[in-house]
Amino acid sequence: MSKQQLMTGNEAIARGVFEAGVRFAAAYPGTPSTEILENISTYKEVLAQWSPNEKVAFEAAYGASLGGARSFASMKHVGLNVAADPFFTVAYTGGNAGLVVVTADEPGQHSSQNEQDNRNYARHAKVPMFEPADSAQCKAMTKFAFEMSEQHETPVLIRVTTRVCHSKSLVELEDRVEKEIVPYVKNAKKYVCVPANAIIRRGEVEKRLDTLKEYSNNCEWNYIEDNGKDVGVIASGMAINYAKEVFGSDVNYLNIGFSYPLPMKLMDSFLKNLKKVYVIEENDEYIEDAVKMLGYKHICFGKYAPDESRFLPAYGELTSDVIRKAVNGGKGYVASFDRSKVLGRPPALCAGCPHRGFFYELGKRKDVVVSGDIGCYTLGFAAPYNAMDFNCCMGASVSGANGMQKVLNMVEGNEKRVVGVLGDSTFFHSGMTSLLDIVYNKGNCITVILDNRITGMTGHQQNPGTGFTAQGEPTEIVDIEGVVRALGIKHVRTIDPNDLTLMRETLDWAIALKEPSVIITRYPCVLKKMSAHDKNEWPQMYSSKCTVDADKCIGCKLCLRSGCPAISVKDKKAVIDKTMCVGCSVCKQICPKDAIN
Amino acid sequence: MTKNILLVGVGGQGTILASKILTLGLQKANYDVKMSEIHGMSQRGGSVTSHIRYSEDKVYSPVIEHGQADVIVAFEKMEALRYLDYLKVDGKVFVNDYEIPGMPVTSGQAEYPQGIIEELKRVADTTVIDANKEAEKIGSSKVMNMILLGTIIGSMNLTNIDWDQILTENVKPQFIELNKKAIKCGIELAK
């Protein structure tokens, strides 16, 4: 194997974790961070686990660090919201062996519900932070973060963005350095966060920050490239690369790779000889605010110009052409062509998706409000189902439905029922506590758990219901129906969602009940690699394909309401694409003329 | 001088493997290489792109700027048009004469647009390739992606790289010969 390898940022972080001698890593999947733990799980020297959610992952990594092993957790940006509670307090205690956390942010929101800038978490929690700009830095900074974590007794945050995670560049591979387990020594004053102890640790945090402020001014990660110009660029993360494409050697650069605490003295010395400075950073005005605080607002062009007019866009990726447009109006030639010949390609539920039957039936009902969640099934909001009213974050479907149903029940004559919809992995993530709220607080909304036997949207990660760990070891299969009953729900039905009659009758049953109910639609994702257990439960899964009897088809297009990408209508007859169809039979059940076999 | 290659297509067409093979070859030829993919929804019929940039000097950004692609290779014809604003003024388009309708078309809300090839030809130096037909001649429609990779290799003068070796190291043994043939076919078509 060549020592130099093309790697994505995610692969490089995983490699850094391996080389740093880490023994424990935990994560919950989420774009663009998912491949970090997937890659770590291929190193047998590291115990890698998918946790039910990010808070659990971070806490497990914290415990592992206290146990004396270098430990790691990764998550997408909104995942750190879930893990924020322990993150803020572990900032006070630090670990025993090194503890490093990755947050993968999404400028441009390619696959996320918001665009929050998690650099603010570093400042907010007072945790040191790195911002790698390419894959080589991903590995180098990950490794160094463990050293810093141990030296300063603090968790360390690494902030990456989609383009850092998912772009490839060259990385030098090095060997793993084994780290002995650091003996755990009881130290309640440090680790038990009662107020009297925590306030003392609070002081330690400030001392540590003072040291790190000095470090930031003098470290290898923050450095000036002096091209002898009176115009400068300050940038961090991927934005450095975009800026260098635009400005070349026409400006001086201050590269910021260690960005909390910011190198204030270094910035001041860089800025004092400049007539103009561009601050190039994705998402918030994190560095820009600091430049202004140092008194350079009059020369600073970042998200705002000195006169406070908008300069760079407030949101979205700051790719080279976006920067160029702000700086000098753009580069010139861009082909102009007839855009009306380009149609969108909105994502659709796959042919054979087990969510199809459910959304087809739910979308027909006028007596429901649908509270959605985060997963493939969020696509239920779109045509032809239009079967979702709101969604916001993991688990909110259930708790939101409960709150809404309570208020609708206050309206005289209300007949609307609220249906919370979420997947199996999302239920384990944070739906369980919400369901408890319904039981405890006497709610009566309906919860539907779309159990497709895998974590689908992020690319098929194992979860507590699948029977395998992240590293492929067989484990307990947590029984969702058992959990639901144990939480106190009395009315539970587990059904096959591809049976439309059963699906419809089960919705009727739940809607008629005065008490809370749970419907579990249990059928594997069509893309799932079936386990022995699955094959035993579904021996006949999708063993035939559907075909249209053109003589019987009247071209009514009702089958298109299935939203299946395998069906279209040509010359007034339905056509099923054989390469896509798996024979789920949803269209066959919809057809009023029995024209589909 | 940094060269920019844009591969576009629809999820499931094999753009990711093609761009992987391409970047490995470029790396072997000692270029600095960066590659960026956006494929969040690819499994569900979405549009997918791979940006590949390489140079004898350092490459900074992994993302091609609008108006800067030396070549766009489109695995599906509407996708060629979607990303045409990335093409350089003297850049080339290789477009697979292949239609994947997408949800608005299959659900009957829209017709697949007519005249795409004509529009491409009007705006840019466009070569139309029936990669499906060529692939079937070779023996399997699955090597469509390697034929299209071959057009990049041909048009960017990268034929001196040992692509056979790269294929041997990265493709299942039973498919190596088929893929080699497909790349050669693509190189010929690009002439």
pLDDT of residue A507: 98
**What CATH number should be reported for the domain holding residue A591?**
3.30.70.20
- Whether A337 is covered by a domain: the verdict is no
Whether residue A455 is found in the same domain as residue A480: yes
Mean pLDDT, range A478-495, rounded to an integer? 98
Residue type, A340: S
Cβ distance A342 to B24 less than 8 Å, yes or no, reads no
Per-residue pLDDT tens for A129-150?
A: 999 999 999 999 999 999 999 9
Residue B86 has pLDDT above 90, yes or no: yes
pLDDT of residue A542: 84
Q: Which of A313, A328, A343 corresponds to the end of one domain?
A: A328
Q: Number of folded domains in chain A? A: 4
Search chain B and give the residue with CA nearest A574: B106
Per-residue pLDDT tens for A422-448?
A: 999 999 999 999 999 999 999 999 999
- Whether A346 is covered by a domain: the verdict is no
Residue B160 has pLDDT above 90, yes or no: yes
Assigned architecture for domain B3-130+155-174: 3-Layer(aba) Sandwich (3.40)
Chain B positions touching A568 (Cβ under 8 A) are: 101, 105-108
Whether residue A507 is found in the same domain as residue A528: yes
In this predicted model, which residue has the larger pLDDT, B32 or A333? B32
Q: Which of A540, A562, A585 corresponds to the end of one domain?
A: A540
Per-residue pLDDT tens for A224-252?
A: 999 999 999 999 999 999 999 999 999 99
A543 confidence band (pLDDT: 50, 70, 90): confident
pLDDT of residue A323: 97
Q: Which of A324, A311, A319 is nearest to A238 (CA)?
A: A319
Distance CA B68, CA A377 (A): 38
**What CATH number should be reported for the domain holding residue A263?**
3.40.50.920
What is the torsional sign of CA A570, A580, B19, A247?
positive
Exposed, middle or buried: residue A359 (CB in 10 Å: 0-12, 13-18, 19+)? buried
Whether residue A412 is found in the same domain as residue A532: yes
Distance CA A378, CA A246 (A): 39
User: Would you say A8 and A166 are in contact if contact means Cβ atoms under 8 Å apart?
Assistant: yes
Whether residue A28 is found in the same domain as residue A171: yes
**What CATH number should be reported for the domain holding residue A172?**
3.40.50.970
B89 CA: distance to closest CA in chain A (Å): 6
Cβ distance A560 to B107 less than 8 Å, yes or no, reads yes
A347 confidence band (pLDDT: 50, 70, 90): confident
- Whether A403 is covered by a domain: the verdict is yes
Whether residue A228 is found in the same domain as residue A211: no
Mean pLDDT, range A483-492, rounded to an integer? 98
pLDDT > 90 fraction of chain A, expressed in percent and rounded: 95
- Whether A116 is covered by a domain: the verdict is yes
- Whether A335 is covered by a domain: the verdict is no
Per-residue pLDDT tens for A303-327?
A: 999 999 999 999 999 999 999 999 9
pLDDT of residue B73: 97
Distance CA A489, CA A438 (A): 9
Whether residue A12 is found in the same domain as residue A135: yes
pLDDT of residue B108: 83
Whether residue A320 is found in the same domain as residue A395: no
Asked if B67 reaches chain A (Cβ–Cβ under 8 Å), the answer is yes
Residue type, A335: A
Residues 80-139 of B with CB under 8 A from A: 81-82, 84-85, 87-89, 101-110, 112-116, 119-120, 122-124
Whether residue A524 is found in the same domain as residue A497: yes
- Whether A342 is covered by a domain: the verdict is no
Asked if B24 reaches chain A (Cβ–Cβ under 8 Å), the answer is yes
Mean pLDDT, range B90-111, rounded to an integer? 91
Residue in B41, B60, B105 closest to A241 by CB:
B60
Whether residue A323 is found in the same domain as residue A457: no
Asked if B45 reaches chain A (Cβ–Cβ under 8 Å), the answer is yes
pLDDT > 70 fraction of chain B, expressed in percent and rounded: 97
B42 confidence band (pLDDT: 50, 70, 90): low
Distance CA A535, CA A541 (A): 8
pLDDT of residue B12: 82
Rounded to the nearest 5 degrees, what angle is found at the Cα of A550, between the Cα atoms of A549 and A552? 70
Q: Which of A354, A348, A353, A376 is nearest to A522 (CA)?
A: A354
Whether residue A536 is found in the same domain as residue A523: yes
Per-residue pLDDT tens for B64-80?
A: 999 999 999 999 999 99
Cβ distance B45 to A568 less than 8 Å, yes or no, reads no
pLDDT of residue A329: 87
B38 CA: distance to closest CA in chain A (Å): 8
B141 confidence band (pLDDT: 50, 70, 90): confident
Q: Which domain holds residue A294?
A: 222-328
In this predicted model, which residue has the larger pLDDT, A347 or A193? A193
Residue type, A549: D
Q: Which of A494, A518, A540 corresponds to the end of one domain?
A: A540
Chain A positions touching B109 (Cβ under 8 A) are: 383
Asked if B21 reaches chain A (Cβ–Cβ under 8 Å), the answer is no
In this predicted model, which residue has the larger pLDDT, A487 or B14? A487
Cβ distance A337 to B85 less than 8 Å, yes or no, reads yes
Query: What is the residue-wise DSSP string for A379-440?
Result: GGGSTTT---SB--STTHHHHHHHHHHHHHHHSTT---EEEEEEEHHHIIIIIHHHHHHHHH
pLDDT of residue A409: 97
Asked if B22 reaches chain A (Cβ–Cβ under 8 Å), the answer is no
Mean pLDDT, range B80-97, rounded to an integer? 97
Mean pLDDT, range A445-466, rounded to an integer? 96
Whether residue A395 is found in the same domain as residue A517: yes
- Cα end-to-end distance, chain B, whole Å: 23
What is the torsional sign of CA A377, A383, A386, A391?
positive
pLDDT of residue A579: 84
Mean pLDDT over each residue of chain A, to the nearest integer:
96
- Whether A64 is covered by a domain: the verdict is yes
DSSP state of A330: -
Residue in B36, B84, B106 closest to A335 by CB:
B84
- Whether A339 is covered by a domain: the verdict is no
Whether residue A184 is found in the same domain as residue A287: no
DSSP state of B174: G
Q: Which of B59, B61, B114, B141 is the best mutation test for A, with the most CBs of A within 10 A?
A: B61
Per domain, the residue ranges of chain B are 3-130+155-174
Mean pLDDT, range A408-427, rounded to an integer? 97
Cβ distance A321 to B109 less than 8 Å, yes or no, reads no
